[in-house]
Structure 1
């Protein structure tokens, strides 16, 4: 008999990941790339000034493409650089945002933020235990309904999911489009494990 059990464990996040974007439009590729490079350097510099370390910053995307425009208008190219910041300071989002906006103004986009738990190993252990108990209870009930006795476990297959807390993306941030006292709420992070357990008959 094959049954599926699931277990969920909730925990408080200890990591905040923020994704910033810098975009510029110019008449040629070189100018667009050069502008984005200078603006990106400015954003990285102010983030470092906020205490963000070397290993907490990474480029998560770079693109350059020709913008679609109506026939007869000048050709333009858009370059973008996406930077992800990881911090353990869950209350420091406002300061990071203020610093980045102050550095590049309307060229900044906020693509999103995500709370997470860095080490989920203990949560996964607990979720597996809950999932196995759930599967066993279901199997015992089904076996009883069918008039059989439950035997030993012959196979187990696992799948797991994490549900990090996320916020939606915001773009085109102007210098007046943010609140220096902006507060965000981490909420809880959920880890779910599903176990497909195969039992033999006794």
Structure 2
């Protein structure tokens, strides 16, 4: 059995976001699959064209999911099929959410859904370095305290395991209608984003 002490230390640092990700969904219910798929395809093209007109580059657009399924209906009801296409937009214009949203709503009206809005940090490498240093220092302080309580002195580090995470700011999915489009001048102000590193460190006895 290894001798020594294992502890967990955590470090958290904050950074200013520089990326906005918006996930739009286009949905349609129709009596048959072909009609649902065709309508969603046409309306997705309309949304993409509207976003491109707002200055979104092709490289900033991407499909995140496509679904087609039969909806549950009460026995005796006519069959219905739902098709959906989810489009992810990534931009560095953190203030452009309202304009993008209004353009998409104007393009397809009630067929549009907003699945999420998220601010993020593109390069977290320096934040991870800082969080890692804080985590290790906390682990070492804990280990030294425990060693002192047990009547030992700390020796060398024999093992380290790392986990890290990031909690971006997001908004939940919701349905939208043309009559309830957001003001294009809406002011979205993201909070600082947190980067957290957790280290499990094993110290041998001196």
Whether the TM-score (by the shorter chain) exceeds 0.5 is yes
1:43 to 44, 47, 56: 47
State whether structure 2 residue 148 is matched by structure 1 residue 144: yes
Match of 1:33 in 2: 37
1:160-189: CA deviations, max 9, x gaps? Answer: 111111111111x11111222322221111
Match of 1:103 in 2: 107
Match of 2:7 in 1: 3
Q: How does 1:71-110 map to 2 (within 5 A)?
A: 71-110=75-114
Report the number of matched residues. 201
| Runs of 5+ consecutive residues of structure 1 not aligned to the other structure | none
Match of 2:177 in 1: 174
Aligned-partner Cα distance in 2 for 1:191–1:88: 19
Q: CA RMSD in A?
A: 0.9
Aligned-partner Cα distance in 1 for 2:51–2:182: 18
Aligned-partner Cα distance in 2 for 1:155–1:64: 49
SS at match of 1:113: strand
Aligned-partner Cα distance in 1 for 2:144–2:193: 31
With structure 2 as the length reference, what TM-score do the two structures score? 0.95
SS at match of 2:180: coil
Aligned-partner Cα distance in 2 for 1:14–1:177: 28
The answer to which of 174-183 and 79-88 deviates more is 174-183
SS at match of 1:47: helix
Match of 1:56 in 2: 60
1:65-110: CA deviations, max 9, x gaps? Answer: 1111122222111110000100100100000000000000011000
With structure 1 as the length reference, what TM-score do the two structures score? 0.97
Aligned-partner Cα distance in 2 for 1:133–1:47: 47
The CA deviation at 1:19 is: 0.4
Aligned-partner Cα distance in 2 for 1:35–1:165: 32
Aligned-partner Cα distance in 2 for 1:9–1:134: 14
Match of 2:71 in 1: 67
